[in-house]
Amino acid sequence: MTATTDGSAGPVRAGAAAASRTTDTTSAASDILEAAGRAAERSVQHLLGRQDAEGWWKGDLETNVTMDAEDLLLRQFLGIQDATTTEASARFIRGEQREDGTWATFYGGPGELSATIEAYVALRLAGDRPDEAHMARASAWIREQGGIAAGRVFTRIWLALFGWWKWDDLPELPPELIFFPKWMPLNIYDFGCWARQTIVPLTVVSAKRPVRPAPFPLDELHTDARVPNPPKPMAPAASWDGFFQRADKALHVYHRFAPRRLRRVAMNAAARWIIERQENDGCWGGIQPPAVYSVIALHLLGYDLQHPVMRAGLESLDRFAVWRDDGARMIEACQSPVWDTCLATIALADAGLPADHPALVKAADWMLGEQIVRPGDWSVRRPGLTPGGWAFEFHNDNYPDIDDTAEVVLALRRVKHHDPRRVDSAVERGARWTLGMQSRNGAWGAFDADNTSSFPNRLPFCDFGEVIDPPSADVTAHVVEMLAYEGKTHHPRTRRGIEWLLAEQETNGPWFGRWGVNYVYGTGSVVPALIAAGMPAAHPAIRRAVRWLESVQNDDGGWGEDLRSYREDKWIGHGASTASQTGWALLALLAAGERETKPVERAVAWLAETQRADGSWDEPYFTGTGFPWDFSINYHLYRQVFPLTALGRYVHGEPFAGRTDNREGG
């Protein structure tokens, strides 16, 4: 058809073009949906194949070489090193070294001084010579950065154990701290649970100041071998830092004159505290660092290596080892079976696996058996609260955490269990415990309520990572989401949590991520929670979050955020695309009703295109955190569960949509 002089054919031609575009768009969307379905099915099969016979999942938890170096240093200190373990650990440490001779604390990150010092010393223990090329590069870089003197306190403690650093040049940590009443600033319960479990045994180490004969000197790691321990400048006396520095000097004087009987009683009290908190598997808190320091402290107090407490502790440390196919031995800082299992259950259920599928029922059975029904350290702040939480690890009854509890409840509600009353009872108990763990500001921390004192962070001893456990947006969001699904949307505590989340939103739209990297994680946690709690997708807070996510989407369709975003604003929302972070962003956008938008379609297409043939995704980048920036984690199961959850919701819709059985009330 040709156009007439009055243009009457124009609308016909334009209408045909519009119809063609609509057909093309519909076809493209259909293709993406089909690709998403295939990718989800492959992922489901992959994840089912990784389930343990007992019902749980656990991916490797990768951190950095300080875990491996300190394991070798511990074995040297106790005199229990063996050639096989030493060589396997050294193989792993060598494999993590960068071209410039340094070691980083996360994939693609910059060289880190303390990690490089500890890795270097560990390799020397394994027999690597200082004049070998890889060692010479490392020692030269260490000197350029200020040498051992510029390393963090924990690194210098390890070196002091062998006389490579002076105990007098370390911050003092007196065991009398154990006697501070709970209302007094800097009592042990002012510290986060991970710091508390580390500090109590280190008070014994600090008091004993042991020195084992050094197997070699470390002069090459000092900037000037003649003056290995240069003094650090003091902060102004009127500042808090200056106050604590001067208090530390006073404690050094006290160390020389401390009444022997009082000190002995304090160390014995610390030992009792440590032993009372040893878990059934011999570990402490389910994490490697407190276990290491607890073993050292008890050894210094006269517990021989064959004592049942010591034997169990050492055996527990061996369970943190991952032996790889190349003969290398990697140490996990922690193990995450409860967390991995609840996230895998959610992913499989949202991907369409039947609610009564045997894998889901078996996972629910295992999770139900992991509920903690006895008080732990959290009860110091909440003495009248009935227990009912879940921990992160296989054995950690002293420290259930709020994040795991919220996600376990969400997972259990997705399973059609053969004993629904048992599930209801466990869920109700878990929800009640979680409500009771709310902090005064209306939000939730990870392990304790109101663990917000600023004093612990100011101690000269605490120069590495977070030592307190204040509420965070990601944990609070998971709790709000769980409470909403439990029919407690209008509960006063839920409403206060929602108000806190809205107040915490950044002006440009995202939320800070405490336990995942970073604003992508925080936003991916909060938006689904607010929508689950009844907030309309048109709410300004949701729209700001959506606009921010769309603004930081990578050109390839994925999302990524580098760990440097915790320190440098230019990295916020920016980094190489990863499967886990793309999953987080998708969860937020899908919850906000953006399913049929180009950003969502591009992200889904990226996940489908980057999936491997076996249904998994590759992800070398670290997207988890222990302490923002200071201690980073690559959860090897994140790259599987979060993309699958997002693809499942893209294909099958939002979970619990249209749910009518919510049970309002307390």
Catalytic residue IDs: 403
Residue type, 220: E
Joined together, the tokens standing for residue 321 give 């080892």
- Tell me how far apart the alpha carbons of residues 588 and 582 are, in angstroms, rounded to a whole number: 10
Pure H helices in 217-375: 240-257, 260-276, 288-300, 308-318, 337-350, 358-369
Is 207 in contact with 251 (CB distance < 8 Å)?
no
Is 173 in contact with 199 (CB distance < 8 Å)?
yes
Nearest to 121 by CA among 144, 89, 79: 89
- Tell me how far apart the alpha carbons of residues 246 and 266 are, in angstroms, rounded to a whole number: 23
- Tell me how far apart the alpha carbons of residues 467 and 452 are, in angstroms, rounded to a whole number: 10
Nearest to 361 by CA among 645, 55, 648: 55
Q: What is the DSSP code string of 110-176? A: PB-HHHHHHHHHHHHHTT--TTSHHHHHHHHHHHHTT-GGGS-HHHHHHHHTTTSS-GGGS----GG
Supply angle C-alpha 479, 484, 486, rounded to 5: 95
Supply angle C-alpha 239, 203, 471, rounded to 5: 60
Nearest to 520 by CA among 606, 477, 582, 564: 582
DSSP letter assigned to residue 109: P
Is 584 in contact with 524 (CB distance < 8 Å)?
yes
Strand partners, 634: 62
- Tell me how far apart the alpha carbons of residues 457 and 448 are, in angstroms, rounded to a whole number: 16
Residues in the chain: 666
- Tell me how far apart the alpha carbons of residues 317 and 103 are, in angstroms, rounded to a whole number: 23
Q: Helix (H, G, I), strand (E, B), or coil: what is residue 47? A: helix
Is 329 in contact with 93 (CB distance < 8 Å)?
no
Q: What is the DSSP code string of 244-258? A: HHHHHHHHHHHHHH-
Which residues, in sequence order, are CB contacts of 387 under 8 Å at separation 6+? Answer: 372, 373, 374, 375, 376, 379, 400, 429, 433
- Reported as type and span, the H/E element at residue 33 is helix 10-48
- Tell me how far apart the alpha carbons of residues 448 and 307 are, in angstroms, rounded to a whole number: 32
- Tell me how far apart the alpha carbons of residues 386 and 374 are, in angstroms, rounded to a whole number: 8
Buried-state track 328-349, b at ≥16 Cβ within 10 A, e below 16: bbbbbbbbbbbbbbbbbbbbbb
Pairing mode, if any, of strands 61-62 and 624-627? unpaired
Determine how many CB atoms are found less than 10 A away from the CB of residue 543. Answer: 13
Which residues, in sequence order, are CB contacts of 275 under 8 Å at separation 6+? Answer: 298, 309
Strand partners, 451: 469
Strand partners, 516: 624
